[in-house]
A and B are shown apart, each in its own frame.
Chain A
Amino acid sequence: MSLPSATLLAQSILSGVFIGALYGLLGLGLSLSWGMLRQINLAHFALAFLGAYLTHQLTAVAHWDPLLTLLVIVPAFFALGVLMQATFARFAITPFNSLLVTFGLTVIIESAIQAIWTADPRMLDSAYGHSKFKVGALYVPLPELLTLVFAIALALLTWATLRYTDLGKAMRAAAEDAKAAAAFGVDVRRLALLLSGASAAFAGVAGLCLALSFTLAPSQIYAWIGVVFAAVMIGGLGNPLGPLVAGVVIGVSESVTMAITAPAWAPLVSFSLLIAVLLARAEKI
């Protein structure tokens, strides 16, 4: 183990912030549906990858600008989220069963992706991929910067909506006690549809970011589950800013670990952080 130079360390902290932003972006929708709808949506990851592959298709084959794909993906995924919530509500699914059903859904989506785009890894070769600029001695790649901007913007937007608008207050009331909220005239069912739609749309945005900066393969869906759920749990369920903050903490710890030990050990970091948090807050979670 040798200490890296200051520049290398700063660069790895920066890349930790970037990857942490993606953890936060992926965790945002998960945290909302777990904390407010009591659903553990494993299919969130599959949706994000579906979004990534769609971005890839529209960009690489149809030659769209990557950002333009959001115009299609966001409404389409919103509709998917609404449909999913409508099904869950129809069958009065329990939190545990939501975990199982979305696990099944994940496998179905994974198989569909593999059938359409094959299991071969693919990397998007877009104009964005080549844009890097230098700040001082540090390289800042554009796709990662976009991810950070999206993650911060969506987290703040969600936070402000929940905190300051009537819609957000109604959502928080419904999450706290659905029956009481309904008795005060809140349309709990519609709010749940809206929340699930928003959460799926966030997955679509995260998919765009995935496609811009990562190599895609169907089996990679599962690689994100552990670390993103760690960010969600450390950040606090239903808290829109929590996953981003926790994600950045995890991301930075991971990339610093990678810089001073071997890259392959990074997955241990999030898990150790999670265990530490669980031990420290065992009574409060």
Chain B
Amino acid sequence: MIRNPARTGIVIAGLALATVPLLKLPAFYESFFYLIFYWVVLATSWNILSGYSGYFSFGHGAFFGIGMYTTATLAGQFGVPFVWTLPIAAVISALFGMGLGAVVFRVGRLRGELFALITLAVTFVVATVVLNTPIDGGQGVNLGGVKLPALTGSASSTLYLLMLMMAVATVWIAHAIFRSRLGLGLFAIHDDEDVAEVLGVPTFSYKIGALGISCALAGAAGAIHAMFVSYVTVGETFSVFVPLTVVLMSVLGGTRHWLGPAVGASVITGLLYIFTAGDFAVAGRAAVGLILVVVILFMPDGLLGRFINTGRKRPSDEAPAIPTSTVPASDSALPAAAAGAAPAHALKSGAPSGEPLLMVRGLAKSFKGLRALDGVDLVVKRGEILGLVGPNGSGKSTLINVVSGHYRATAGSVAFSGQGELAGLPAHRIAHAGIARTYQIPRPFPHLTVLQNVALPAMFGRARLTAAEAEREALTWLEFTGLGVKTHALPEDLNLHQRKFLELARALAARPELLLLDEVLSGLTPGEIDGAIRTIRAIRDRGATIVFVEHVMRAVMELTDRIVVLNNGRVIAEGAPADVMARPEVVTAYLGKPHAATA
């Protein structure tokens, strides 16, 4: 049995195409196929960052051009053998791209748009530098005298084979990433970067890494292409045609599929040949522009869009993979009944209950002068359910956002038992330390299945499981939360109650030591709330420590061991639930004016 049919297919296709020079066809065929491979490399390498993670680059022409000029300079001016310039071109291009990424990816909002525009602008900057320095000097570089390695009898066959090898390697790498941890992380970044980071995906280094790989492949392709054109000029190299065509090919083929760009590249190269043969170059360019417009408007997912399953295997049939003997997930009685299915070891910690797990000291967070948190001190003890209550705007959600690393604290410290200081760390490090959270308004990854949504934190959170282990772990938690029947559904098929439980399953799959629950009960019916209360109790019985932010007072009183009351960003009371809620200052803060409704 073939273990990996896709990669076997790539290699077989590559070997078959490698025999083409032996057929002694007219030279036209070799250069036509060469151009297809060339565009396959450029489009597929572009897609590794831009398609998978959604960060569109318009700078692929620059990365590719840097490769071309590296070879042009080293081989053409300094006599370095061509083969050596290939890896050097890849490395220089990758370093350049990663340096650029290190600047742009630090920006908060609008990262995506800024990245697109900066990469477009950088193409002209690189062109300016190359044109005005001895690298080119405005004359162009002639590579006519540079020797190619003698792979075959003719130069054109050698170039054909070199670019074919590049294409096979690039598609192989694109497929390998597609199926890897990196690939899943990139797809999560595409859907919701902030959530991906909070679930443990190191988003910054993943983007930089993907950009580096993408640039290296483009740079190596540029090195070969420099030999193909043999006369390298700034005008031809850094034209806007390269990024335009690459984006078009990938979008046409489907950016969420590893093979999409290669399919798009083959189709467009063929079309371009038909359109631009003879005197219709201008019409050809207009046609490419028109196709881009039409495809985006009418087929935003591309030709392979309907075959996309984002890299995970699809169930062989539509039936759920696990037997679900009991009632459907929407039945509120299910979760607690299924609690026995949860892995008993999962949330247990070695340390005894009662000792401090999380220590927050003087925590402050300001938004443009508004003090959402104003010096909060609190301790969460191991094994307890701590209720965090207070009126709307009192800072409960901000506290969760700061502790989980979603926001950076303005001042103060967050110490986590055995892990040291967490304040100021990127959110994925906090997830690795063992803190998981839910979002009040569920934020699932819309293009990933329910199973993938839950498997992701198991792979990237504290547990750091392999893909197969993570899938098993995810299935048990889906069963535990009553979502077993929805394993292969997309989040859009879930109702609010199920989405809330998806949030919960996702947080649990990371096997956290501390679970931050942000209003998991809001919007649920009284019957659903009863079921949810049983589920949360079952989670605590498995050994987890829980911070429970909630407005549903019945649940707070039933579940919590201790309560902290926040008002205007400060802790105003702390103690046993019944005692604290009876205090006059809490009643005033919580209910506001005397005429306010009872809780």
Q: How far is the CB of A95 from chain B (nearest CB, A)?
A: 6
Contact (Cβ within 8 A) B296 A101: yes
Contact (Cβ within 8 A) B107 A264: no
C-alpha gap A99/B117 in the complex (Å): 9
Contact (Cβ within 8 A) A111 B108: no
Residues in B neighbouring A91, C-beta threshold 8 A: 297
A133 interface contact, C-beta 8 A: no
> With A91-B297, A108-B290 given, is the CB distance from A230 to B121 under 8 Å?
yes
> With A40-B117, A225-B120, A229-B121 given, is the CB distance from A100 to B128 under 8 Å?
no
> With A108-B286, A274-B118 given, is the CB distance from A103 to B292 under 8 Å?
yes
Out of A230, A237, A279, A285, name the residue touching B103 (CB < 8 Å). A279
C-alpha gap A87/B58 in the complex (Å): 24
Contact (Cβ within 8 A) B128 A265: yes
B54 interface contact, C-beta 8 A: yes
Q: How far is the CB of B121 from chain A (nearest CB, A)?
A: 3
Q: How far is the CB of B6 from chain A (nearest CB, A)?
A: 28
A83 interface contact, C-beta 8 A: no
| Residue ID in chain A nearest B124 by CB atoms | A226
Contact (Cβ within 8 A) A285 B117: no
| Residue ID in chain A nearest B105 by CB atoms | A282
Out of A100, A237, A284, name the residue touching B247 (CB < 8 Å). A100
Contact (Cβ within 8 A) A285 B289: no
Q: Which residues 97-151 of A sit at the B interface, judged by CB distance below 8 A?
A: 97, 99-101, 103-108, 110-112, 114-115
Residues in A neighbouring B125, C-beta threshold 8 A: 226, 267-268, 271
Out of B121, B248, B285, name the residue touching A274 (CB < 8 Å). B121
Contact (Cβ within 8 A) B108 A284: yes
For chains A and B in complex, what number of residue pairs have CB atoms within 8 angstroms? 122
C-alpha gap A49/B285 in the complex (Å): 18
Write the A274-285 contact mask toward B (1 if CB under 8 angstroms, else 0): 110011001111
C-alpha gap A73/B65 in the complex (Å): 39
| Residue ID in chain B nearest A102 by CB atoms | B293
Contact (Cβ within 8 A) A111 B103: no
Out of A106, A111, A227, name the residue touching B283 (CB < 8 Å). A111
Out of A97, A110, A270, A282, name the residue touching B296 (CB < 8 Å). A97
A262 interface contact, C-beta 8 A: yes
Contact (Cβ within 8 A) B121 A264: no
Residues in A neighbouring B109, C-beta threshold 8 A: 285
C-alpha gap A112/B285 in the complex (Å): 10
Q: Which residues 92-146 of B sit at the A interface, judged by CB distance below 8 A?
A: 103-104, 106-110, 112-114, 116-118, 120-122, 124-125, 128-129, 131-132
Contact (Cβ within 8 A) B108 A285: yes
Q: Is the interface of B mostly helix, strand, loop or mixed?
A: helix
Contact (Cβ within 8 A) A108 B293: yes
Residues in A neighbouring B248, C-beta threshold 8 A: 104
Contact (Cβ within 8 A) A282 B107: yes
B251 interface contact, C-beta 8 A: yes
B555 interface contact, C-beta 8 A: no
Q: How far is the CB of B341 from chain A (nearest CB, A)?
A: 40
A14 interface contact, C-beta 8 A: no
Q: Which residues 281-316 of B sit at the A interface, judged by CB distance below 8 A?
A: 282-283, 285-286, 288-293, 296-297, 300
Residues in A neighbouring B124, C-beta threshold 8 A: 222-223, 225-226, 267
Residues in B neighbouring A112, C-beta threshold 8 A: 286
Out of B56, B110, B282, B293, name the residue touching A285 (CB < 8 Å). B110
Q: How far is the CB of B386 from chain A (nearest CB, A)?
A: 31
Q: How far is the CB of A83 from chain B (nearest CB, A)?
A: 13
> With A100-B247, A264-B132, A265-B132 given, is the CB distance from A108 to B289 under 8 Å?
yes
Residues in B neighbouring A268, C-beta threshold 8 A: 125, 128-129
Out of A115, A279, A285, name the residue touching B114 (CB < 8 Å). A285
C-alpha gap A40/B117 in the complex (Å): 9
Contact (Cβ within 8 A) A96 B117: no
Residues in B neighbouring A114, C-beta threshold 8 A: 282
Most chain B CB atoms below 10 A, which of A230, A237, A264, A279: A264
Q: How far is the CB of B57 from chain A (nearest CB, A)?
A: 12
C-alpha gap A233/B114 in the complex (Å): 9
C-alpha gap A209/B106 in the complex (Å): 37
- Interface range on chain B: under 10, 10 to 19, 20 to 34, or 35 or more? 35 or more
Residues in A neighbouring B244, C-beta threshold 8 A: 103, 107
Q: Is the interface of A mostly helix, strand, loop or mixed?
A: helix
Contact (Cβ within 8 A) B288 A107: yes
C-alpha gap A271/B248 in the complex (Å): 26
C-alpha gap A96/B131 in the complex (Å): 31
C-alpha gap A110/B251 in the complex (Å): 21
Contact (Cβ within 8 A) B283 A99: no
Q: How far is the CB of B293 from chain A (nearest CB, A)?
A: 4
B240 interface contact, C-beta 8 A: yes
Contact (Cβ within 8 A) B293 A278: no
Contact (Cβ within 8 A) B289 A105: yes
> With A103-B247, A278-B103 given, is the CB distance from A267 to B286 under 8 Å?
no
Residues in B neighbouring A233, C-beta threshold 8 A: 114, 117
C-alpha gap A95/B56 in the complex (Å): 12
C-alpha gap A97/B302 in the complex (Å): 13
Residues in A neighbouring B289, C-beta threshold 8 A: 103-108, 111
Residues in B neighbouring A115, C-beta threshold 8 A: 282-283, 286
Write the A247-265 contact mask toward B (1 if CB under 8 angstroms, else 0): 0000000000000001011
Residues in B neighbouring A262, C-beta threshold 8 A: 132
Contact (Cβ within 8 A) A101 B113: no
Residues in A neighbouring B291, C-beta threshold 8 A: 104
| Residue ID in chain A nearest B298 by CB atoms | A91
Contact (Cβ within 8 A) A104 B296: yes
Write the A226-250 contact mask toward B (1 if CB under 8 angstroms, else 0): 1101100100010000000000000
C-alpha gap A234/B121 in the complex (Å): 14
Residues in B neighbouring A270, C-beta threshold 8 A: 121
Out of B112, B120, B292, name the residue touching A100 (CB < 8 Å). B292
Q: Which residues 222-252 of B sit at the A interface, judged by CB distance below 8 A?
A: 240, 244, 247-248, 251
Residues in B neighbouring A34, C-beta threshold 8 A: 113
C-alpha gap A95/B112 in the complex (Å): 10
Residues in B neighbouring A282, C-beta threshold 8 A: 106-108
Q: How far is the CB of A92 from chain B (nearest CB, A)?
A: 10
| Residue ID in chain A nearest B289 by CB atoms | A107
Contact (Cβ within 8 A) A267 B128: yes
Residues in B neighbouring A108, C-beta threshold 8 A: 286, 289-290, 293
Residues in B neighbouring A40, C-beta threshold 8 A: 113, 116-117
Out of A101, A226, A265, name the residue touching B293 (CB < 8 Å). A101
Q: How far is the CB of A87 from chain B (nearest CB, A)?
A: 8
Out of B116, B128, B283, name the residue touching A264 (CB < 8 Å). B128
C-alpha gap A282/B104 in the complex (Å): 8
| Residue ID in chain B nearest A222 by CB atoms | B240
Q: How far is the CB of A45 from chain B (nearest CB, A)?
A: 11
Supplied contacts A101-B296, A114-B282, 12 more A-B pairs, CB within 8 Å? A87-B297, A93-B296, A93-B297, A99-B113, A99-B116, A101-B293, A104-B288, A111-B282, A233-B117, A265-B132, A268-B128, A285-B114
Closest 3 CB pairs of A and B: A107-B289, A226-B121, A104-B292
Jot down 10 A-B pairs with beta carbons below 8 A, ordered by A: A96-B113, A101-B297, A103-B247, A104-B289, A105-B289, A105-B293, A264-B132, A274-B121, A279-B106, A285-B108
